[in-house]
Each structure stands twice: as structure tokens, then as C-alpha cells.
Structure 1
Amino acid sequence: MNISEVSPPEPDLAPQIAARLKRNSDGLLPAIIQDATTREVLMLGYMNDQALHLTMTTGRAWYWSRSRGEYWRKGDTSGNVQHVVSVALDCDADTVLVQVHQYGPACHTGTPSCFTDRELPVTGTNSSADQMKEPDA
């Protein structure tokens, strides 16, 4: 869907929300996308004010493509739609958490999450079991 075909209830992001946002130098916020049911992190995208506004008012997740320089709505090409459940700012107001009901894989590679089977080895740290122990007094 082309952004010109969308008519959100309000033309712009509410001023009280826009004033809180701490965008990067390109006017973007990282958007962490999380499955609302499982809490699994599905992907990371970027939103400008208009993409955030569309996400909050249309019930679908919208992003700004840094490589293509255009808006895109998740699922319009792939059919793997994200229905928005909630949107929250982090404590610094420089990152958005969008909880969604994901239909189909979230990643363009066809995996459920963009982080599926991409774990890197962690060395030089204690095991998680060791970290849970109380330190010696």
C-alpha cells in the first residue's frame, strides 16, 4: 500500500508525543518489534514521526526504509502482517517498543524472527547460572 492511500484520523503525530521523542540525526527512532503473546523480539525497524503516527492510528506497523528512502507497511509485499497491540517509549524516549500480533514470519528471510538462528558466541563471561548466585560476602 502506498502511503498516499492511507488517511489516518489525525494528520500528524500528536504534539505532546512528538515533543518527547529523541530522534537520531536522520529524524528516526529505532523500533523494537515484539510478539505481544510470546514476548519474542521479532525485528528492529526505524520510524520517523509519520511512520510512528501511522502505526499508532492504523493498527498496522509502518516503517521508514533507510535504504530505499520510503515508507513501508509490514506485510504489504510478503503478506506477513503485523497488527499493533501497543506502542511504548523507553525511559530515554529514544526507542519505541511495538508489540504486535505477527501473522507469518517477521523476517524477510522467512524465519519467525530476524534473530532466529543468528546467536553469536559469548565468551569471557560467567555462565547465567553463575551470575544468578549471590556474591560472597
Structure 2
Amino acid sequence: CPSDCPLDKKDGICIKDADGICDPDCLPGVDPDCSQTVNQTITPNASASGCGNGICDSTETYLSCPQDCPSGGKDGYCDGVKDGICDPDCQKNQDPDCAAAPARAETDNTARILIAAIFGVILLFIALFVMIKMKARSEQ
């Protein structure tokens, strides 16, 4: 999924392209192919599911019960909502709030300091060696 899943079936991934197919995983107003009434019929009856009790149960998601499951929470549903929270249920590039991982990790400052210290010690030994040689020549 999504390449091998039918776009009109629930798979937990909202495809918000204008492709003529209403994706039932999208929230109201996210998929331009869905009308408001289509998206409203996807949300189960709150009283039948325990929705609204203030607890995001294992049977609830942001899609099925936004009252209990906040956007960006770990509920098994990638909401893909731009809300400043990277949804842990989303795969790479599904949530606009999830910044792309940097290509190269930041180098640890400890490693930089250690390399600089080793380089400094080597330079110090070279300078001392040159000074000792020069002093020995001047004494001859």
C-alpha cells in the first residue's frame, strides 16, 4: 500500500490527490474528491464506539474519534494534517509536519574536540622537536 491498495478502500493512508476517487481515509476537506457528506458517513457513531469518553481506545483513531484521539497521536492512523506535529503513524513523506531526515547526521562535538586536541599535541611535539634541534646546533 498505497501502490497495491484500492484507493476507495480504507487502508490508513490518506491520498489527497485530485484523482476522481474519494479516499475514505482522508479527513473532511483534505481530499478534493470527497464531499463533506461522504466524509461524515465514514466516521462511526460516537455512542456505539465509546467515542467521547476522553480516552483514545485501541479501536479509535483520529479519523473515527477526533474527540478522543488528537491529531498527531499514535493511534494507528496517519492523519497527514498540517498541525505542527509529526504523526508517528505516518510513513516517510505522508505528514507535511515530518521534516525529511538530514542526509548526514550532525558530527558529535566530542569527536571534533578530540581530533583537534590530537592535532594540537602533534603540532606541539613537532615544535618542541624543532626547537631542541635548533638549540643543539647552536651549542655546537
Q: What is the TM-score when the length of structure 2 is the normalising length?
A: 0.21
Length-normalised TM-score, structure 1: 0.21
Higher radius of gyration, 1 or 2: 2
* Structure (1 or 2) with the greater strand fraction: 1
Structure number having the greater helix percentage: 2
Tell which has more relative contact order, 1 or 2 (C-alpha 8 A, sep 6+).
1
